[in-house]
Each structure stands twice: as C-alpha cells, then as structure tokens.
Structure 1
Amino acid sequence: MTGLLDDKVVVVSGVGPALGRAVCLRAAAEGAEVVLAARTQSRLDEIAAQIRDAGGQALTVATDITDDAAVAALVERTVAEFGRADVLVNNAFSVPSMKPLGRTDFEQISSSLDLTVLGTLRVIKAFTPTLSEVQGAIVNINSMVIRHSEPRYGSYKIAKSALLAMSQTLATELGGAGIRVNSVAPGYIWDDQLKWYFGQVAEKYGITAEQVYEQTAARSDLKRLPEPDEIADSVLFLASDMARAITGHTLDVNCGEYHD
C-alpha cells in the first residue's frame, strides 16, 4: 500500500457487505483510522475485526442515518475516539422498487429519498463542523442509473439524481470552508450479490451464469465488470490529498459502459 490516507480519520456510513466493506478495508490498508457506521452491528464487528487483525484501527457505531440522535452520537463517538474526522464516505443504499413509475408506490419513493438523500444530508450536516476544522473531504456513492433511463429504474434514478444535485450544491456551499464534495457513480459491481442475481437470470433463461456475465459485460468498453476494490480505489483517490483541487465532480467507474 502507498499510505494514501496516512493519519486520516475516515468515516464510512452505510457500510454494506460489498462496496462498503471494500472502502473500509482499503482505507485502513492505506493508513486511515476507520469509523464504520450502519444499522447492522454484526456486520460492522466482522469488518472491524478484519481491519484490526491486519494491524489497523477501527471504531464501530451502529447508526440509523434517518435518526437525528443516532447521527449525533456517531459524530460524538468519532471525535471522542479520534479527535476529528478528515473524510466522510456516504454509502447508504436502498433497494429500488424495480417497477415502472406508474406502478411504484409513493411510499417506496419517499422512503428511498429519506435514506439516500435526507439521510446523507443529515450525516453531512452533523460532520460539517469537524470537517471544516481540517478542510476535509466528502465522497457520496451514487450510481450509473443517473446516466440512463432504462425501464423499471425510475424510483432509484429519482433518489440518485437528487443525491447528485445535492452533492453539487454542497460542493459550492461548503467550498468556502475548504471541504471538498465529490461523487463516485459505479456501474454493475461484480460482488456476491450480483453473482447470485446472474445465477437466477441464467436459470430463468436456461443459460449459464458465465453467459449472463459476458452478455452484460459486452456493453462496456473493457468487456468486464468492475469489482468492489476497483470502486473503492476511486473513492480513496477522491478522499485523498491527491484530489485536493477536485470538488463538485462525479467519477464514473463502470468499465466504460456509459460515458458522461
């Protein structure tokens, strides 16, 4: 590792089993002290154990980012343990309805916005004072759904488009405090969940999972799908001092499936 995040305190909210895990492990490997936040304590403990086993430092805080008190406690625990936060990565994810908008329940759209957009904003607002002290960085995880209008992704695109607009506005509003706000928009991520899904598709159409992969990857320039570590590396770059002059930007990581 290069020590890209040496002496940085990195907070990751919405830690999941794939990309969130990869961001935490990669950040720790690059020298960061990592704060892991999500609702599932057992998952946080598992990833934190991996970080500590490798010689890193990790703090776990079970957090519901839709709850003001829980987010305030996350900030308090972070500052009490490490004295500050240098980087905030927001990775909260809500499963999309996968229905046409005409058949999507409004409650489903509202709950997605509450988590993806308002939850992220709640965390950012809470961490802004400590990030201002160190001219820190924020990286919001978006999605390639903002680059297309394929059927059944409508409610997901609404939430992620709002997240993008919010990120751009925050880059302007927080720039005076020296805080950078950027986004990473992954395409398909070749993780266990996608492998399982491709297996289901293969069974449905009587083909192999490898054929499903090849057909999907054929739409990208590199003819493959990005893996969690590759997405995480892009996140770490934007979080690091190497990107100190970059803000308000969205970095697409999809092996060339879509061009911005």
Structure 2
Amino acid sequence: MDFWGKTIWITGASSGIGKAVAIELSSNNVTLILSGRKEEALKDTEKLCIKNGCQTVILPFDLGNEESIEEAAQFIKENNIKIDALYQFGGISQRSFVAETPISVDRKIFEVNYFGTIALTKKVLPQMIKNGGGQIAVTSSIVGKFGFPYRSSYSASKQALHGFFESLRAENAKNNIAVSVIIPGRIKTNISVNAINKDGKTHAQMDAGQDKGMSAEKCAKVICKKLKKEKKEILVGGSEVIMVHIRRFLPRLYYYMASRVKPL
C-alpha cells in the first residue's frame, strides 16, 4: 500500500489511535476523510493534519446509528469520492461483569463495535471492488483473541470482527482487496475513560494499566508501517501482547492467568 496521493477514510479520528494515525499519514500528500461523533474534536485533528500539507474532509457520524452511517456513505457517493482505504478505529469498551450486565448494554456494545463497523464496510466495499481494489483495516484488541474479565461483550464483539474480516479477505483476494486486523494492547488513550459500565453509563476512569500503556503516537507509527506492508494482523503494544502467544501455545497457562489477572 503506497499512501502517497491516496484518499483514506478514518473512523474514530477525533481521539486516540485514530487521531494519531491520521496525523501520521497526513504528511503523505493524502486526502483524509475524518470521521467520529464529535465534530469539534475532528476539527482539532484536521488542524494538525493540514499543517502537514494534506487535504481533509470532516464527516461526523455515529457508528451506533444505522441512519447516520447511511448518510455518511451517501455523502461519499454524492461527492464522487473514491475511497482507496478505509481504516476503522471507532468503537466502545466495557467495564462490567457478566452477571451484572443487562443485555441492553451487550447489544449497545455490539451495535457500535460490530454492526456499525461492518455496516460501513458494506457501504464502501462494492465501490472499492469496482475501482479495482483497495485496503480495509479494522481495529480489534488483544481481547479479540481471548476472553478477559470485565470485558465480556467487548471481547466478543472484537472476536466477531476477526471472523467477519477474515471471511471478507478470503472472498476478495481476487478483487485486490487487502484486509488488515489491528490488534492493540494497552495503548494510552481514553478508551477506558469512555467505556460503559453495567448501567450503560461512562466508566469515567483511566485504568492504571491503560495509563502506563504505549503512547498513541508510537502505536500509530507501528500501525502505519505495517499497513504499508499490508500485514494481515498488526499486533501492537507492550509486554501485555505476550498473552496472545500464551493463549495460542500455552493454553493451560493462559486459563490460569486469565482467572487471576486484574481487569483494570
């Protein structure tokens, strides 16, 4: 994937990894479609990107609202914008135990992380195929590779993304569609602050582990380097990412550790 001169749609661009990736890409003479729920925050991202000489379009929408997704996709179509790459960082995390979490909270998490993400993908994919190819990247998590306390539906929604996008990749290899699944560990963003609790309200706390995580800027550099190489899975983070390998090669040790790990 040569970023130079491409049009790249980034969701979750108002903060965190999505914002950092947008800024990292902005020096490549790209056109960036910046999306998220908060328009003012997107404008802050835009200012930083424009300083690096790129062109931008702000396109706010809500991943948890199907009509909002449809309106965003319609804007792209009506303005004849050719999307070369779709990088999806939008999502919501969770801080609650299974036994205390009502199904409405589980549904909300899936609506944003899974259904909203695949809905946008389905809007972009046909035109991308028609144009001869492109790149799609979606953000999972290390808990998209295994279950983890206090993250039941968050983990499940991310694991669902793996199944969907691996299927999409297999179906569209002939269409020159590159698919990458980004798997961050603990990155210092506000994902824990913005997570929802058992009542569906904002957690409003920075997890201690999150606070000590890799910076979003360093994370973005790793992600962009591997997106350029079209890596199918992009594992990024600190020592915590070793859990992915432990789960794969030493499952008994993983089960022992997972039942004793501090979820925050």
Please report the TM-score for the alignment, with normalisation by the length of structure 2.
Answer: 0.77
Give the 3-state SS of the residue equivalent to 1:160 in structure 2.
Answer: helix
User: Within 2, Cα distance between the matches of 1:39 and 1:230?
Assistant: 24
List per-residue Cα deviations over 1:192-231 (Å, max 9, x = no partner): 6779xxxx789xxxxxxxxx66xx89xxxxxx73221232
- Among candidates 225, 228, 234, match of residue 237 of structure 1: 225
- Among candidates 111, 115, 133, match of residue 118 of structure 1: 115
1:130 and 2:130 correspond: no
Identity rate, percent: 17
Alignment of 1:1-260 (within 5 A): 5-78=3-76, 83-96=81-94, 98-132=95-129, 133-191=131-189, 225-240=213-228, 242-243=229-230, 246=231, 249-259=232-242, 260=245
1:220 match: none
**Gapped runs of 5+ residues in structure 1?**
203-211, 218-223
User: Within 2, Cα distance between the matches of 1:52 and 1:115?
Assistant: 29
Q: Judge which range, 160-169 or 71-80, deviates more.
A: 71-80
User: Within 1, Cα distance between the matches of 2:92 and 2:84?
Assistant: 26
Give the 3-state SS of the residue equivalent to 1:31 in structure 2.
Answer: coil
**Gapped runs of 5+ residues in structure 2?**
194-204, 246-264
User: Within 1, Cα distance between the matches of 2:132 and 2:32?
Assistant: 16
In the TM superposition, residue 38 of structure 1 has moved relative to its aligned partner by 1.2
User: Within 2, Cα distance between the matches of 1:83 and 1:178?
Assistant: 19
Give the 3-state SS of the residue equivalent to 2:179 in structure 1.
Answer: strand
Distance 1:201 1:24, change over 3 A: closer
In the TM superposition, residue 178 of structure 1 has moved relative to its aligned partner by 1.3
Distance 1:136 1:238, change over 3 A: farther
User: Structure 2: which amino acid aligns with 1:103?
Assistant: E
Q: Judge which range, 74-83 or 23-32, deviates more.
A: 74-83
Please report the TM-score for the alignment, with normalisation by the length of structure 1.
Answer: 0.78
User: Structure 1: which amino acid aligns with 2:115?
Assistant: L
User: Structure 2: which amino acid aligns with 1:124?
Assistant: T
List per-residue Cα deviations over 1:125-148 (Å, max 9, x = no partner): 000123221410011011111344
Instruction: Report the number of matched residues.
Output: 233
Give the 3-state SS of the residue equivalent to 1:29 in structure 2.
Answer: coil
